[in-house]
Structure 1
Amino acid sequence: MWDFLQHLSFWDWLALGTVLLILEVFGAGGYLLWMGIAAAAVGVIKFLVPHLGMEWQLLLFAVLSILTAVYWWKRQRSSAKTSDQPGLNERGSELIGRTFVVHQAIVDGRGKVKVGDGVWMVTGPDSPVGAHVRVVAQEGAVLKVETV
């Protein structure tokens, strides 16, 4: 093994880069992408500088892996934009403060209200069918209500 590491060729680095990029395709979430690019870059450097020692190759791989990952992380953070519609994916947030009629009686703190053409699960004080309740908060797909 030690002998293999001391005689790494540029083909070995390109093969490692290719394997890492293929593994990335199967869902590594971006972690192996930058290591694959760094391995390919070391392969190119090794091709241009054939007498590059094993220690320098491994050091280059480590440094390039870290630099490329940090560069991409910073670039992603700087390009993140705030939405002009902050409640877009929070379906129940626009219901807070509105009043609805109880569709299924709220018993032991749980029931349902009719909202438009849909029905939402609610938690709140016990109320009979037909009572009016006001939405005060949202927890996931469940609305918190109070009696009106």
Structure 2
Amino acid sequence: MTEMFSTLGTWNWLIFGFILMALELAAPGVFLFWLGLSALLVGLVSFVINPVWQTQFLMFAAFAVAAVPAWRHFAKSGTSASASSPFLNRRTEALIGREFTLEKPIIDGSGTVRIDDTIWRVAGPDAPAGSRVKVIRADGASLTVAAA
């Protein structure tokens, strides 16, 4: 067994790294990618120096452990795009607190308001058309309003 390990060389690590990255395509989860990257780094370092197999395994372990904070850093920086538009998939929640003019009066607790190019159903106390209302709650495609 140690004879097999002692024959490990640069090309073994490079091939192992590419196999791990190919497996990542088959079973995505971003875990095998970092292990593959670690194996590729060991292969590249082995081009420059020719370490013994024990050192190669230690380098692989060190690179794999260092990949965890690197992954967290890249994952955290990827979420900043959604932080700039927090209501991207929650359009109705973005309307809470805003004021609009009633298009149709609220009669028996139901009316409509135009927001941009969409007419929304609103619920609230009776009010004539043209009055200003403030959205206090969003429930699906219906908004609950109060007098502004």
Q: How is 1:17-56 mapped onto 2 (pairs within 5 angstroms)?
A: 17-24=17-24, 28=28, 30-50=30-50, 52-53=52-53, 55-56=54-55
Check conservation: 2:6, 2:52, Cα contact below 8 A: no
Q: CA distance change for structure 1 residues 9 and 101 in 2, over 3 Å: closer, same or farther?
A: same
Q: Which runs of 5 or more structure 2 residues have no equivalent in the other structure?
A: none
Q: Which runs of 5 or more structure 1 residues have no equivalent in the other structure?
A: none
Q: CA distance change for structure 1 residues 26 and 110 in 2, over 3 Å: closer, same or farther?
A: farther
Check conservation: 2:13, 2:40, Cα contact below 8 A: yes
Check conservation: 1:113, 1:120, Cα contact below 8 A: yes
Q: How far, CA to CA, are the matches of 2:5 and 2:130 in structure 1?
A: 76
TM-score, normalised on structure 1?
0.57
TM-score, normalised on structure 2?
0.57
Check conservation: 1:96, 1:138, Cα contact below 8 A: no
Deviation of 1:143 after TM superposition, in Å, equals 5.4
User: Does 2:60 match 1:61?
Assistant: yes
Q: How far, CA to CA, are the matches of 1:97 and 1:87 in structure 2?
A: 16
Q: How far, CA to CA, are the matches of 1:2 and 1:111 in structure 2?
A: 80
Number of corresponding residues? 142
Hey, which of these two has a bigger chunk of helix by percent? Answer: 2
Q: CA distance change for structure 1 residues 137 and 44 in 2, over 3 Å: closer, same or farther?
A: same
